Amino acid sequence: MATNTLHADIDNWTLATPAARSPNGVVASQHRLAAQAGAAQLDAGGNAIDAIVATAYALNAVEPWMSGLGGSGFMVIWLAREQRAVALDFQGTLAGDTRLEDYPVDPGLPATPMGFPGVVDNANIEGYRSITVPGAVAGLEHALRRFGTKPRAEVMAPAIALADRGLHVDWFTSLQIGVCARTLARDPISASIYLPGGHPATPESRLRIPQLAGALTEIAEAGAESFYRGALAERIVADLQAGGSRISREDLAAYEVFEYAAMAAEHRGYTLYTPGEASGGLRQREMLAHALDAMPAPPENPTPETWLVYAEALEACWKQHKIRNGVLSAADGENGACTSSMSSVDAEGNMVALTYTLLNRFGSGVTLPATGMLMNDSVSYFDPRPGYPTTMAGGKRINSSNMCPTVAVRDGEARFSVGASGGNLIMPAVTQVAALMMDFDMSLERAVHHPRLDASYRGSVRVDPRFSPETLARLGERFALEIAQQLVFPKLYACVSAVSRDPETGECIGINDPTQPIGGGAAPTPFRLGSLGSDAPAVRP
């Protein structure tokens, strides 16, 4: 088979990241400050749900391009005392007045990240018409009210403090802005924040996002009720409709979170819980079943044949997924994917995996003037052509996602949770980390650092050159290979966040992907802003 080595030898360093360890719980996130905001809830006596909600809100201020108030997602919660796993679906919904004629297909444009046709003026991925009703605030509120222990104001305090301080710009932030500068330039508010002077913000500056701290404070005080039916809702809808969105007050008021028993998949004595068929969970279950059938008894350590089994299993489950969605020639969409994943565990053994997203990096590129919220572009989850399961329709909920937050339980104890960002890359990365831990009893730290491959039935398989020559040769007998090392950008093997807990020792471990320079785990300690960026000049739009 042919081999492509385009990304085989670009960066000249070895990527590794430290793990956080504590007997009192840990949090892992794509930004260390957000993880610390979550871990502070554990330090103050909160549980894993308090921690994950604090982490998610903090990301609005430190990683706004990936997720936030304007996003949607999934959460899986293992409740240790009740011995059950709960899934929360807080995916976005289309405006009730959505019309297919607003999204005429443009054959000259590339497919969206979900593999659907592009439309005229990129209206399904950029600007106000690409926005769905966001579910994030409702989902976080639901989780905290039903399963948390701490008051909302306390849980959100770190996020508000971070938003009030402003976004410290480092080289990684400048990279994220630069990648999306064209889209951000289309929106006057986003351009004024992220493109001061018409150029991407430079490292060692600090950006103020107008109104964001105020919006977070209003949510902390009045909850999701204000966001969906109160004063915040009024300002949100006014901004949306002024920009051309069809989202109405009725659409916001009708939004609801779905809570249900998480979908279970059995694998070598573990039960893996995911949000189910609307997420990447069904593909994960199919991949593991295929791998188990092909490899009933795993060897002591992974072999070239192991990786051939994993690659073939991923190809098979992705083929079925694309058949189900009516998209057999879907584009990767990997470099535009925008998602944040986080995990938490507490000393009692409660464990959470949360993934939520704006979909593309910086979402629609729209920042609402009255709230400072970056908004999603989740209309691109839907097909602009009639007659498909994912075809646009008024009020329709996102029903096909790559997000795959996973909690793994064995002998009644949550052992690890893992999720990732990265669009089509998410499920393969999450499932490989989980499979390495279950098939070969790897530690979380070793599994996250292990070379990965990516396969999604697209005509080739991408592999990390750190694999042995024997493994590369065996895979090359079956597939066209892309030899591509792990990179900070583009992230070719997703960005994993995970925690684990040893029920015998109580030790908890949290780790973020080694390709994410700002990510990390955090052990319980009081939250302090510290000196990060404190001397940087504030950039005010």
Q: 509: left (phi > 0), else alpha (psi -120 to 50), else beta? A: beta
Give the 3-state secondary structure of residue 306: helix
Number of neighbouring beta carbons within 10 Å of residue 329: 10
Dihedral of the alpha carbons of 184, 189, 192, 198, in degrees to the nearest 10: 40
DSSP-assigned letters across all residues of 128-186? GGGPPBP-HHHHHHHHHHHH--S-HHHHHHHHHHHHHH-EE--HHHHHHHHHTHHHHHT
DSSP-assigned letters across all residues of 279-298? TTHHHHHHHHHHHHHH-SS-
Side-chain-side CA neighbours of 273 within 13 Å: the count stands at: 29
d(CA 417, CA 501): 9
Q: Is 471 a catalytic residue?
A: no
d(CA 184, CA 182): 6
The DSSP symbol for 453 reads E
Q: Which of 339, 355, 367, 471 is catalytic?
A: 339
Number of neighbouring beta carbons within 10 Å of residue 215: 25
How many whole angstroms from its chain centre is CA 292? Answer: 27
Which residue type occupies 266? E
Closest CA to 190 of 239, 146, 229, 261: 239
d(CA 458, CA 401): 17
Q: What are the C-alpha distances in Å from 330 to residues 111, 276, 398? A: 7, 21, 18
**Residues labelled catalytic:** 339
